[in-house]
Structure 1
Amino acid sequence: MIRSLRLLLIAPSQPVHTPALEYAGGLAQTLNSALHLVAFVHAAALDVVGHGHSVNLDNARNGMMDVYRQWLNSEAVLLREKGVEVQYEVIWGKPSAFELAAYAQNLKTDLIIKDLREEAHLKRLVLSSLDWDLLCASQTSVLYIKQAPAPRLRKILVAVDIELEGEARATENDQIISMARQLADACHASLHLITVYHCDSVGCKSIAAALSSAELPSYEARRNVFDALATEHGFAKEHRHFLVGAPANVIRSYIQRNTYDLLIIGSANHHLLSSTIGSTAEGILDNPVCNVLALKLPPASCNSYAQTQEGAQADGVSHQLQPELMAR
C-alpha cells in the first residue's frame, strides 16, 4: 500500500469554521490522509476573545490560546468521527512565510491548505501578502481555497505550458498531469487539460492575426505538441482545451464560462530566498475564480541549474505533493 499524503491546514486568524477547514476535512477523508491543524495566535487577536488591555498579558495569552485549543479540539472530534486521523497544535506568535514553510517541512507535509482572504475594498477573495510570500518560500504544494467543496470533486482542470519546448518542460508537464490524474482518480472526478497559445510570444496583435499570419505553422506545431501530450496521458478529445491569448486571462475566462471545482497549476520549487513563482501562476492567483492548487515540482523538473545548486540540500527537504496517492 502506498503511503497516504500528509495534509496541513493553516487555521484562520479567528476560531471559526471556514471553507478551507471544510475542504481539508473532506479531502483527508477522501484520500485517507492524515490531517494536521495549526493555529498561530498573536496579541493583535486578543479582542477576538474579549480580553481588554487591563488583563494580565500572560493570562490573556493563555486564555486566548485555550479558546483556540477548544475550538480545534471540537473540529478534530467531528473529523475523527468521520474516520479522519487528526492532530492539532496552537502556537503563540505571528509567523513569517519562511517560518510557515519551515513548519510544513518539519512535519514532512505534502500539501498546505489555506483560506483566501477577503479584501473588502476589492469585494473579492485574494491572496494576502503572507500568502504570496508563502507560495514563493514554500517547497510544499499549496492549495488556496476560495469556496467550500461540493459534496465531491466533479471536474478538475489542469493547466500546462507548451510555449517553452525541451526535455525539462516536457518532464514538468508530465509530472503535473500525473499528480493531477491521480488526485482526480482518487476523488472520482473528471480531469480536463488546458493550455494557452500565447499571442504575444509570436508577436501577433490579435487572435485573428495569430491564426492567419506567417506564424501559423508555430501555432500548428504547438497544437500538435499539446495533442500529443494529451494523447499520451489519455485525455479524451472533449477534455482537451487549446486556447489562444494571454494565459492567465484566458484561463480565468474559460473557468468562468465552465464549472470546475479545482484548478491545478505548476509552480517552480524555488529556494527559500527566491521570489518568483511564474508569470502565469501569478496572474491566475491574482484573481482566482475557483480553488487553486499550486503544485511545487522537484528542482530537476524546473531548472537543471537550480538542481545543481540545491543538490546538496535535497535530501530531507523536498516534500512536495507526491505523485503516489493512497491505493484505492
Structure 2
Amino acid sequence: MNQSRRILLVGHDGQRKSAAFQRAAALAMAGNMPLHIAVLVEPFMTYSLLANESREPIRQSMLNEQRRCWSEEVDVLRGKGIQATCSVAWAENLHEEILCHVRELQPVMLVKDIQREPVLKRAFVTPLDWHLLRSCPVPLHLVSNAHHPKPRIVVAAVDLTDPEAQHSGLNDQIITTGVSLATQCNAEFQMLYIHENVPAYLASTGEAVVDWAEINEELRVSMHQSFVALAERHDIPQERRHFITGQPIKGIIEFAQTHHADVVVMGRVHRNVLGKWIGSTTEAVLHRLSGSVLAIRPEAS
C-alpha cells in the first residue's frame, strides 16, 4: 500500500455516512490507498457569547463526542480492509484549517461534500467550496450525491478555448486523471467538449459587418481539429468522444444528466482582474450538477 497516495476526507459533525464519506471510502478501497478523515468542528453561532470559563469545557466536550462517534466509523472502515485514520480538530476558520491539513498530509486527493448555498447568499459571500476551488493545491473532489459510491461513469470536460489551459497542459491532465479514475474503478470513460458559437453581435465591428456564420464555422472546424488531436494523443476511442455545440455550463450539466455521470473531471484556471476573482465554469457547474466534480489545477500552479 502506497502511504504517499493518501486520500483526505473532510469530515464534519452530523455528516457521517455522507455522500463524500461513501465516495472517499470507495475510492480508497478501489485504489488500495489509505484514507484519513479530518473531522473539523466549528463553534456554534452563540459560542462566542459564552463566559470565558464555560467555553473550554464545552469545546472539549464537543471534540470528545466527535472523537467517539468517528472512531466507530473508522473501525467499520478498517473492518472492510481500508487503512483508515481520523483526527478531530476545532476549526474557527474552516477554509484555513482544511488547507493546513492538505499542506501537512499532501494527499493525492481532497474529498468533501458540496456545501449548498442559496443563490442570494452566493452573490454576497463567496462559498467555502469556491474558496477551495481557487486555493486547494491538490485535486479537489466535491461530491453532491453518491448513488454509486464507486463511480460507474466518468466524464472529462476539457476546455479548448482557454489559452492558459492549453499552455499549462491542463486538458491533458484532465483526461489523464479521468482515465486513471475510470480504470481504477472499472468505470466507463467519456471525453467532452462543449463548443460555443460566437454571438452575431460580436462579429460586427464598426460599420463593417462580417459573415458571423462563416466565422463560427471556421472556429468550429479549428476547435474540432484541436479536439481530435487531443483525443488521439490519449488514444480515446471515437465512441467515447463528444464534441457538442452549445452553451458550456448548460451543455456540461445536460450531458452529465443524460449519461448519468458520477464524476465530471474539470479544470481550475482562475482569471485575475484588478486583484479579484471571477467565477469559472467549474464554479458555475458545481451547484447545478447532480453528481460530483473532480477539479484539477495546472501542475505548475
Structure-1-length-normalised TM-score: 0.76
SS of equivalent to 2:92: coil
What does residue 21 of structure 2 align with?
21
**Distance (Å, rounded) in 2 between the aligned partners of 1:165 and 1:296:** 14
- What letter corresponds to residue 148 of structure 1 in structure 2? A
Task: Tell me, yes or no, if structure 1 residue 78 matches structure 2 residue 79.
Answer: no
Q: Give 1:173-212 correspondences, 5 Å limit.
A: 173-200=171-198, 203=202, 212=213
Task: Tell me, yes or no, if structure 1 residue 291 matches structure 2 residue 289.
Answer: no
| Aligned pair partner of 2:138 in 133, 137, 140 | 140
- What letter corresponds to residue 184 of structure 1 in structure 2? A
SS of equivalent to 1:64: helix
SS of equivalent to 1:11: strand
Q: CA deviation at 1:130?
A: 1.4
Residues 289-323 of structure 1 show CA distances to partners (whole Å, capped at 9, x for unaligned) of: 311111122126xxxxxxxxxxxxxxxxxxxxxxx
Q: Is the 8 A contact 2:32 2:82 kept in 1?
A: yes
- What letter corresponds to residue 89 of structure 2 in structure 1? I
Task: Tell me, yes or no, if structure 1 residue 5 matches structure 2 residue 13.
Answer: no
Q: Is the 8 A contact 1:198 1:244 kept in 2?
A: yes
- What letter corresponds to residue 292 of structure 1 in structure 2? V
**Distance (Å, rounded) in 2 between the aligned partners of 1:42 and 1:275:** 27
Q: CA deviation at 1:201?
A: 7.4
Q: How has the CA–CA distance of structure 1 residues 195 and 120 changed in structure 2, closer, same or farther, with 3 Å as cutoff? A: closer
| Aligned pair partner of 1:100 in 98, 103, 108 | 98
Task: Tell me, yes or no, if structure 1 residue 255 matches structure 2 residue 256.
Answer: yes
RMSD: 3.4
Q: Is the 8 A contact 2:270 2:280 kept in 1?
A: no
What does residue 242 of structure 1 align with?
243
Q: How has the CA–CA distance of structure 1 residues 155 and 204 changed in structure 2, closer, same or farther, with 3 Å as cutoff? A: farther
Q: CA deviation at 1:217?
A: 2.0
| Structure 1 alignment gaps of length 5 or more | 301-328
Name the % identity: 26
Q: How has the CA–CA distance of structure 1 residues 145 and 151 changed in structure 2, closer, same or farther, with 3 Å as cutoff? A: closer
Q: How has the CA–CA distance of structure 1 residues 201 and 294 changed in structure 2, closer, same or farther, with 3 Å as cutoff? A: farther
Q: How has the CA–CA distance of structure 1 residues 167 and 58 changed in structure 2, closer, same or farther, with 3 Å as cutoff? A: closer
**Distance (Å, rounded) in 2 between the aligned partners of 1:138 and 1:170:** 17
Q: How has the CA–CA distance of structure 1 residues 152 and 96 changed in structure 2, closer, same or farther, with 3 Å as cutoff? A: closer
**Distance (Å, rounded) in 2 between the aligned partners of 1:22 and 1:101:** 22
Task: Tell me, yes or no, if structure 1 residue 152 matches structure 2 residue 144.
Answer: no
Residues 44-80 of structure 1 show CA distances to partners (whole Å, capped at 9, x for unaligned) of: 0799xxxx99x94332222211110011111110111
What does residue 65 of structure 2 align with?
67
**Distance (Å, rounded) in 1 between the aligned partners of 2:158 and 2:220:** 16
Q: Is the 8 A contact 1:13 1:45 kept in 2?
A: no
SS of equivalent to 1:94: coil
Q: CA deviation at 1:156?
A: 0.5
Decide which moves more: 87-96 or 256-265: 87-96
Q: How has the CA–CA distance of structure 1 residues 242 and 170 changed in structure 2, closer, same or farther, with 3 Å as cutoff? A: farther
The count of corresponding residues between Structure 1 and Structure 2 is 287
Q: How has the CA–CA distance of structure 1 residues 175 and 277 changed in structure 2, closer, same or farther, with 3 Å as cutoff? A: farther
- What letter corresponds to residue 18 of structure 1 in structure 2? S
What does residue 321 of structure 1 align with?
none
What does residue 40 of structure 1 align with?
40
**Distance (Å, rounded) in 2 between the aligned partners of 1:278 and 1:118:** 16
Q: CA deviation at 1:270?
A: 9.7
